[in-house]
Amino acid sequence: MEFKRNGIAEIQGILRTALLPGKKRGKTGKGRIRLLCVLFSLLCLFFVLFLTGCESAGKSKEKTERNADSIQSDSEPGEDAGKTASSLVIGFSQLGSESAWRLGNTLSMERAAKDRGFSLFVENGMQKQENQIASIRSFIAYRVDVIVFAPIVEDGWSNVLQEAKDAGIPVIMMDRVINVMDSDLYTAYVGPDHYLEGVNAAKFLLKKAEEMLSEEDLSGEHSADEASSEALLSNSAMTEEDLPDRKIRIVEMSGTEGSSPMISRTKGFHDLIDRDGRFELLETLSGDFLRSKGKECMETFLRKYPDQIDVLYSHNDAMTLGAIEVMEAHGMKPGRDIVIISVDGEQAAVDLLREGKINCVVECSPMLGEAVMDLAEKIVTHQDYPRITHPEEGCFTEYDDLSHLAPRGY
Ligand code: AHR
């Protein structure tokens, strides 16, 4: 447990000491009686704290009323004046540390909690749902004020969230969403709109496609043929006959199977691309959001489709960096031989965009700590709060002037 401030553990330590046989502690009979008195007082104190905790956690649940977009409290703001900054205890189940994005996200949570004087207990799920479920159960047992979790996958959370609900502990989903029948099992969501990220990736490709086809420069066996660039540019009016013989061929590296960014980034992208006859998807492989697996996927793509790939759509920067390494090892020019679209916006990817090795980086911000802490405080002190909060996110492309882009911080 990475609990940073653990009053309970301290009490347990004192109790353990008090319960040791007198000889071991080198105490006399008198000393032992004194210790038993201390022990009794501590037990009383612990009991009182426990009851107070039960009551306030229960209150926070009772007093909120949910609707689709925002939640209204039926109590006066600041009513629970004692339950603010310094006393707030948050249990945070982070899903892992698979990418620079994830590390930036954990840091953002830690900084925001520290700035407000909140106690943040961080548990790393190490990419395993069962670890996250165990962490959430431990937070319930410790009766934290709020549970925050970044769910690794969408399914399989109902039981543990029902347990949190029964204990009266509000739950904030951060970064990713879940699939539960009863949406009352979580209190609110703070995180990106992953569907929009897929759409942004597709929008860039639609623009780039015009340039690729009009240049008639699809390399290797695929020179862009007889179709006139005029017909290509007026894509909406295109018929089957207008289409070039040679389509723009895409390979896709997706994130962790069953995770909401993987599902939504796929859907957002394909909702736009699949209905456009100029494109052909060669294959999608999961790279699990990991650089090492991004390398493996790219090796496979190059082996199976030599000289055929026009575009790589990668669901995150970590996998993209791995893929670029492989392309360069094969003597290719990433960004030119293969158009690369990536998601996240970490510094390393933005640098490669500036160098022309990546063509588009769709932003997905990990800096969610401030919004999460705001929300936690509002929920616990019965203020109105939004049920869904999306950070503002953009899209950086080779067509943009990036000279004023601030350092990314992750
Ligand atoms: O859920 C957000 C995704 O998870 C980010 O795109 C990726 O880098 C991280 O691993």
Model confidence pLDDT, tens digit, residues 211-242 = 999 875 554 444 333 333 344 434 544 555 65
Q: List, for residues 340-387, the tens digit of each pLDDT value.
A: 999 999 999 999 999 999 999 999 999 999 999 999 999 999 999 999
| 64-93 tens-digit pLDDT | 333 345 666 544 444 444 565 568 999 999
Task: For residue 363, list its beta bridge partners.
Answer: 344
Q: Which of 106, 197, 259, 316 for a ligand 1 pocket mutation test, highest count of atoms within 8 Å of Cβ?
A: 316
Is the minimum distance from the CB of 145 to ligand 1 under 6 angstroms?
no
pLDDT value for 226:
37
Contacts 24+ apart (CB under 8 A), 7-14: 8/142, 11/42, 11/46, 14/38, 14/42
Instruction: Report the C-alpha gap between 164 and 224 in whole angstroms.
Output: 58
pLDDT of residue 63: 31
Q: Is 366 near ligand 1, meaning CB less than 6 Å away?
A: no
**Binding site membership of 98 for ligand 1 (Cβ less than 6 Å):** yes
322 lines ligand 1 (CB under 6 A): no
pLDDT in tens, 197-216: 999 999 999 999 999 998 75
Chain-wide mean pLDDT for the chain? 83
β pairing state of 146-149 and 89-94:
parallel
Per domain, the residue ranges of the chain are 2-65, 85-190, 194-364
Average pLDDT over every residue of 31-58:
49
Q: Rounded to whole angstroms, how far apart are CA atoms 407 and 410?
A: 8
pLDDT tops 70 at residue 330: yes
CA–CA separation, 260 and 289 (whole Å): 12
Could you tell me how far CA 295 lies from the centroid of its own chain? 22
Residue 245 has pLDDT above 80, yes or no: no
3-state secondary structure of 172: strand
Domains 85-190 and 194-364 share a fold: yes
Res 214: pLDDT? 86
DSSP 317-340: HHHHHHHHHHHHHTT--BTTTBEE
The answer to whether domain 194-364 has CATH 1.10.3720.10 is no
State both tokens at 70: 């925002």
Q: Which residues pair with residue 280 across a beta bridge?
A: 249
Q: Say if residue 285's pLDDT is above 50.
A: yes
Give pLDDT, residue 225.
37
Question: How many whole angstroms separate alpha carbon 235 and alpha carbon 222?
Answer: 20
Q: Which two tokens stand for residue 200?
A: 């942004």
Domain 85-190 -> CATH class: alpha beta
